Copies of this chain bind each other. A is one copy, B any other.
């Protein structure tokens, strides 16, 4: 149960430190944006980045995403698969194949 493993590790880490008091949905959304900026910094001046740095920054984004999912009572897997279903409707294969345009420009 891969996902549960990391979710449980994140929950335990936060609980031991009594940090959930800081984890309002708003603070977690800010934290995700902050960490996304640090991830982007790996690519600030070049398309190439140190893969180990990318992994570490990506992990920070994911950790706050897991915490926000918990906070809004969402199951991450359900969250992702249902959004994929929604996106599949917005981007029909026949019109979206090989194109990066936004759905409203397809």
**A79/B59 in contact, CB under 8 A:** yes
Copies in the assembly, this chain: 4
Q: Chain A, interface size: which category? A: 35 or more
Q: Shortest beta-carbon distance, A42 to chain B, in Å?
A: 7
Query: If the complex has contacts A2-B1, A19-B100, A22-B45, are A80 and B10 also in contact, measured as CB distance less than 8 A?
Result: yes
Contact indicator B32/A34 (Cβ below 8 Å): no
Residue of B nearest to A71 (CB): B54
Residues in chain A within 8 A of chain B (CB atoms): 1-6, 9-10, 13, 16-19, 21-22, 24-27, 29-47, 49, 51, 54-56, 58-63, 65-66, 68-69, 72-77, 79-84, 86-88, 91, 93, 96-98, 100
